[in-house]
Copies of this chain bind each other. A is one copy, B any other.
């Protein structure tokens, strides 16, 4: 069977295997990024017009595009509804952007670590990934300037607000500096913000795209983290030089996003009901975040370092004694604990051992301590064996 060249770059199913194993009810899972079931809002369908069953526009529902543009403008993004494309979850933005920009060997710029599914999509299309190390307040600026001086990446893909996996939120200063650098070198920005509304502490800074003066950009978001992921409704907003191409690629990919989910999303965006749901969501996750922090201090203080995430769904642990955390998986699953190894979040996994991504939103609080205790023991055992 002769497949396309890109199929040789389809990654192994390690992640799928972890998530499949994490489905077993006896497994205490820190692996996925699922919203907590109890916080899925009850939605009404009775008022949906029958016309939502007909084919729709590739751009998306006009009223939803208007609502998203208005929301974006309130974040300082200079845009109107004609720049909004409704997509089948923000994962689809990555697929469309890959198609728009990437040929085999095309250089792109990523954070290290970065979002795993983005990395896989870009690599599937053959991207050559340049990385900029992530610090607690955003990317290392010297490294970023150096990459831009030495290369001409087709775009920079950044997740500046509660990144999955590192939970980093860029500081105001770094947002400004990154925008200035991208403008200076004329590099397109793809800014991915699924977690902006999941903020537990202080308010979030405005998006980097709102600070750009010249560079082209795509800004993408979703209702998956705050409403219902099963709707598969996300959006992108793009500068007018990019939008027509993205629209045609969307049409070729799946004609248009399902209208049922779009209609439901529109019942929420911008409403008081949504604001109050978001407030409840933040309270709920803040409690889980705090409980995770307490349990981590109890079980991981001697093993790892971490920052307390101010938003999003993950803790990112740096082992004091690095080892390839993928080698811990079998032992952890034997103990009925699932977690996400850090290596696959890097374009160069072998060079970046010793990180773990732990989700705190999905596990029930009464199993949290036991799960972390078992995971810590698996790590201790592995480090003993390595030392021996």
Contact = CB atoms under 8 A, between A and B. Distances in A.
Interface of A: 1-7, 10-11, 13, 16, 32, 34-35, 37, 40-43, 45-46, 48, 50-56, 58, 87-89, 91-92, 95, 99-103, 106, 117, 120-121, 124-125, 152, 154, 188, 216, 224, 227-233, 241-242, 244-245, 248-249, 251-261, 264
A120 B253 CA distance: 11
A312 to B, nearest CB: 16
Contacts of A230: 52-56, 258-260
7 contacts: A7-B100, A13-B248, A40-B53, A40-B54, A43-B50, A54-B229, A91-B254
B103 A4 contact: yes
Contacts of A224: 55
Contacts of A35: 54-55
Nearest to A5: B103
B45 A50 contact: no
B245 A258 contact: no
A3 B229 CA distance: 31
B253 A253 contact: yes
Nearest to A152: B2
A57 B248 CA distance: 27
Contact of A37 (B10, B51, B101): B51
Nearest to A4: B103
A232 B86 CA distance: 14
Contacts of A244: 13
Contacts of A95: 252-254
A249 B55 CA distance: 25
Contacts of A256: 232
A92 B253 contact: yes
A53 B46 contact: no
A89 B252 contact: no
Nearest to A2: B154
B252 A120 contact: yes
Contacts of A117: 251-252, 255
Contact of A46 (B46, B88, B261): B46
Contact of A258 (B46, B51, B232, B251): B232
Contacts of A5: 103
B101 A3 contact: yes
Contacts of A248: 10-11, 13, 16
Given A91-B255, A95-B254, 20 more contacts: A4-B103, A10-B245, A11-B248, A34-B55, A35-B55, A41-B53, A46-B46, A54-B229, A88-B258, A89-B254, A92-B253, A117-B255, A231-B260, A232-B256, A232-B257, A232-B258, A253-B253, A258-B258, A260-B260, A260-B261
